[in-house]
Amino acid sequence: MSWKCKSCGFEANTDGKVACEACGYYDGQVLVLQSQETGKAIRVRISTTVGKHLLRTFAGEEARFASDSQFRVTRDSDTGAWIIEHAPDAKNPTFLNGGKLEACVPLESGACISIGPEKMRLVVAIEA
């Protein structure tokens, strides 16, 4: 079945995949990262590197603990799951649910992303 991406216009045979092979756009679930400090959130539809500059727009003062590239969220084109991975050049560790993020891990609604065990806590929601 042929599919045309609403984001970049790339056309492809989907073969059961759920995201655009060219840009990563997914016409479905949205990843929401909400700051516990400010209550503000961002909604992500494509693979995104999250760092200091983006975090300053919604995460409050504690965004100062983030590196320019702190972590990356990616949409798995085969399963549709959101994946998080720590940026290797980040100065402070990324934590997921209180544990240091060592490898790519699927994200679930209710999960908590932080820098170190307590700084800049972001609550994850996955919206349809």
Quote the tokens at residue 5.
């991406």
Closest CA to 116 of 67, 58, 60: 67
pLDDT tens for 91-105 read 999 999 999 999 999
Domains of the chain: 27-127 (2.60.200.20)
Average the pLDDT over 79-97 and give the result: 94
Single pTM value for the model = 0.80
pLDDT tens for 6-61 read 778 888 766 655 667 777 776 668 999 999 999 999 999 889 999 999 999 999 99
Q: In sequence order, which residues have a C-beta less than 8 Å from that of residue 88 and are 6 or more positions away?
A: none
Q: What is the pLDDT of residue 6?
A: 75
DSSP state of 46: S
